[in-house]
Structure formats: C-alpha cells, structure tokens
Chains A and B, each alone.
Chain A
C-alpha cells in the first residue's frame, strides 16, 4: 500500500501555542485511519492543514508525492481531498435531492450551462438518488434540508461529499452533537462507504470505542504531537495512549 497523503514535520503555531507540532505521518491509499485524542489535541487543526483551510508555519503536505502545501482548499478538493465539517453546512431551503444534485453537477463540471435540456437532470438526479441510498436518506429526498433532524443533516453532508468523488474523505467528527440513537445510523453509513473500498477515509472521532473495529490504523494526537500510531489493538494496549486518555499525562512528560 502506498501513501496517498503524507506530512513532513507539519506544525502550526497560533501565537506562542503550537497547535500541531512536528507531525510526520503517512496515510495509506484506500485505508481507514482514525484520528483520536482528547479535546484540544489539535485533531481539527491537523485536518485543516490537510484540507488547506490553514497554512502550516512549518513543514509540508504531500498528495501522491506531490507537494500541495501551497494549494487552496478549492484546488485540493478538485485534485481529490474532500472534507466534511464539524458544523453542518447544507443549503437549508432546497430539497435533499437538490442539495446532492448540486454537488453531482459540480463534479460533472456542468458549470455554465444556461439552456441545457432536462435529460441532463435525469442523469444527475439518478446519481444523487443513488448517493442518498448509500447514506440511507433516500426516503427523505423531497423534504427541505432545513426540516431534517441533525443526524440526517450529517448524512446529507456525507452524501454531498461523496458526490464530489474525491479519493480522500476527511470526516471531522461526523457524530458530533448527535443524539445516541442517531449514532449507529451514521456509523452504518461510514461502514458502507468503507466496504465499497474505493476511498481513503480519515476520520476524527471522540468516541474511541465506536470506531476501533472500523479502523485499519489509529493515530493518537496529544497536545499537538503525534503520540502513537498503529493498529487499533496496539493502541488499546499502548500505555502512553491510555494515560493520555486518563489524563495523567502532561506535555512535560513527553520530552
């Protein structure tokens, strides 16, 4: 397995605070990597560096061996890195189907068609319906996005992300702010995407136990540093990881 994304000494400082500190890692193609760590460990910041929302103060990001450190988020999404956000961001007053269709249309590069024929739509709509089926939302296609439950909005967002057909999916806490009953449905969606086996998935998650059986690899971030990386089983047994989660570890101990 070759690395699709790799980072070299990736660091970013906000003032004097090093939010991400010298992280060098590789993410393998078509693998499922989870990024875990306590609050403020720099997980989302790390994601922002990968997707281009933030520029590193030091270090570099590579995509398929190409240096993309200077690429804008739009360009990164066009070459193949798509991400979801912790905060739900959809088109509230459009239907669920239309939300996804817009993403499909963008992926098909139909951008400035003024007087296109309707048969165009059928293709897009069918694809959008398929995606909605993948995320188990096909029964809601006619309702407005604003009327969806929180968990359903997250699913919709995942469908829109899938529509862009990026090779890499960066999922930032897809279960954030969700009621416990809604969580299994989202996990099921993620599992379904994983089973298709054509995407590289990187997932940030707080609820560690939920994603362990899904992950090929787990990265543990703590105080901005990459504390450990390995298979889920290794991470469970790793003592530094355990103490990090139990809160006994401070950054001084790491030096």
Chain B
C-alpha cells in the first residue's frame, strides 16, 4: 500500500524537492506551506506520516506538532521534523511537542527514504 506523506515547509523549492525525491521512492506526497495549512491538510488527507519544517510563518513546526498530537486520531501518526537546525534544545522541544524524529537538512533522498521507512514501514 502506498504510504501518504504530508510535507509542510514554507519553501516551495523544498516541497517540490521532497515530492520529487519521495514519489520516486514510491510514496505519495501532499504539501502545505505553513503550520496552519498543514493542520488543515492533516484532517483532509490523513497521511501515514507528517514531515514538517520548524521555521515557518503563521504556525511553526513546534506548534503544528502539538496541535496534531492534540487530535486523538493523530496521536500515533509518526511525525518527522526536517529542519536545517540541529540544536539539542530544538530537538528536545520537538520531542516534547510530540515529534517522532528529527532529520537535519540537507537530506539525501535515499537516506530520507530509509528514515521514513524507519517510522512508517
């Protein structure tokens, strides 16, 4: 069964890049450009995995993760953070917000695929 992934990133190029590299690996991809839209799209598409950026306008990644985890339906949905940041503080904050894992940009397509399968077989 094809896994559906929602990618939330305010950079259009990043979303396109994710889509291109992940569809090539057999995932289906939906996108949103900030946390607020991401939350909406979560309800619409109910993805198997959420990949989100941290620094975004409107609603940032931390807030998005918290909001997603507040929805009982999404309590078990794996959430990966894909960010250029990698400070321990940020990771801890993401974790306590409810993130499953953290991937630091830039990403390598194959490694990203492997990482995704690590939380979403």
Q: Is chain B a partner of chain A in the same complex?
A: no
Binding site for B on A (CB under 8 A): none
Binding site for A on B (CB under 8 A): none
